[in-house]
Structure 1
Amino acid sequence: MSVHDTTHAPEAARETVDVDPELFATEWEKWHRDKDARLASAHGFLAITGLHWLSAEPQGFPGVPGTWSTGPEGVAVELDEGTELVVDGVAVRGRHLFGVIPERGGVDAVWGDTVIEVAKRGGNDIIRPRHPGHPLRVAFAGTPAYEPDPRWVVTGRYEVFDEPRPTTVGASVEGLQHVYDAPGRVAFRLDGRELSLTAFNGHAPGSLTLLFTDETSGVTTYAANRNLTVEAPGPDGTVVLDFNRAVNLPCAYTDFATCPLPPSENRLPVAVEAGERIPHERGPVD
């Protein structure tokens, strides 16, 4: 069922949620400050200075020591004499084998005040150095957002698929794809319309991630994707969607991210004027 199909959409418990407006705004402001603080932490996404794709041929890259390669045994680095990395609290020298990195997994290697992320994305081994002095991080002044408005808090119902559905989506990097298991969909009413979004598993146990775009995408919000985390459904499948907490993924700020794009059915045919807007780093916001 696509977001345009209303024939079998489960009826949402109610369209909006009653909240205390003052408390609602205070909690939202704290949440948004904390979210931006994590983004701009010393080795957060704004500190990434490059995205480097590894191959069987050893290569050197700007801002990192040694030569890097990947093969059947996984990612390896050959360090120059006198150079060391710290991996899992242990200093390593010479040749170090990180081993096979699982998809969406990663290991951090510390070199002075630089953290080198060793990861796998879309089946490809990559490294991404993160330096606290990177100009993107230093100049960060916060993410613009719509003013929090309780009318964008709605209830919905989580509908579990008989079996998780492997779902292939594009990525912010051209030619890259991600595959996620979609455990179900979330159906809800918004502006009087019955809608639904395919859901992926969230980071917290039982939580859900909704990747979507809408009629504001590319106008006031980032064009490629928006992300909304939904807490674990209640026993009857009821969920609360607070679109005020729709956030930008890292690719909205930096070209060194490999963020997934929403599945094709997750384009909402309404303007969701809530949540984070286009970052200053991507141009002015009207």
Structure 2
Amino acid sequence: MTGTRPEGSAVLAELVAVPAPGTPLDGLFYEPGRRPLRAAAMLMHGNGMNFYYGASGFLPPHLAGIGLAVLSFNRHGHDTVSARTRTAEGNAYQTVAEAIDDNERAARWLAGRGHPAPVVIGHSNGGMLASEHVARHPETPALVLLSAHLGGTQMLARASALGLLAGDRLDELTDRAAALVAAGRPDELLLMPGWYYVTTAGSFLDMARNLPSLLDNAPRITCPVLYVRGEREDVELYPAERFAELAGGRVDVVVIRDCDHFYTGYEAEVGGRVAAWLDSVLA
């Protein structure tokens, strides 16, 4: 996290494992050291990412700097293909139901540590899942959406049109995935022409059919929301302004100039803005 740690911050981190079916959910639990503890936050990573990379890695020192304890954890759908046993898991095998359940288990783990209503922060696919979690948990004090995608049945088509995921082979790959699932082979790997390049037939169909809709969730979310998007990102795939129009409460939209989806080179700015906004909202 070189270059992203707030000056003078002192952060203590504990390696933790949240109990879950199959493998546990690994993560780090950060505490604010010498600062008084104000609240807790849970971080939900995006597709192909994990608890120590990207926003889940660079945000905790900033959050601890304003007195927050932070749980940064892996869902079973972390990285792309992972195997801590001889059973493969990871982003290529993820389902929506599994991801929602993983987030619930992480929240219960935090409750067991004395934090029953944490701030929720999610990046990309984790942001879409964060909207679903907060819609189900109105006690959430604040939500931060970092380039949360629109979810729903439109996401795969929009992302593919931009060259991601299935690219110009959406119909072909959809038919192939459906045939494999019908043949009882949902875990067979499929190569995609765009990021994130590899998935399974079952996960591909699940993504096409079962993603929660960010915009449908918006009216159900009444806590304060910060929605951050990079200027170089597609406004339809990451619909910050539309979400703000539909939301049930206050939404502050921040567009980071010349910034990409992963905030490359802008980690300190994003971390500072998120921490400053939460510091104000929680006060």
For the aligned pair, the TM-score class normalised by the smaller chain equals: under 0.3
Larger Rg, first or second structure (1 or 2): 1
Greater percentage in helix: 2
